[in-house]
Amino acid sequence: GSEDIIAGNVSKYTVLPVGYCGQPKKGHLIFDACFESGNLGRVDHITEFEYDLFIRPDTCNPRFRVWFNFTVENVKESQ
């Protein structure tokens, strides 16, 4: 099958569990790739300890994904 096209970088994206309302708690991860050479295009929450991360292709060669450059904040101990 064909892959979804990921156009831009994730920018301070807070991943909340399905059905959760309110302010993020410690452990609700915040992903960010909105900086030069950042390349995280999408984050899917699977469980508290599992996320699917989709990396954008390299700018000059869309067939490859050579690096992984993004930040993660709001992590709790042992997560």
pLDDT at 72: 94
CA dist list (Å): 72 to 20, 21, 34 = 20, 21, 12
Q: What is this structure's pTM?
A: 0.77
67 or 19, greater pLDDT: 19
pLDDT at 2: 45
| Cα(37)–Cα(39) distance, integer angstroms | 6
Over residues 32-76, the pLDDT tens digits come to: 998 878 888 999 999 888 999 998 887 777 777 777 889 999 999
The whole domain housing 46 covers 1-78
| Cα(75)–Cα(28) distance, integer angstroms | 7
pLDDT at 3: 53
pLDDT at 30: 94
Structural domain total, the chain: 1
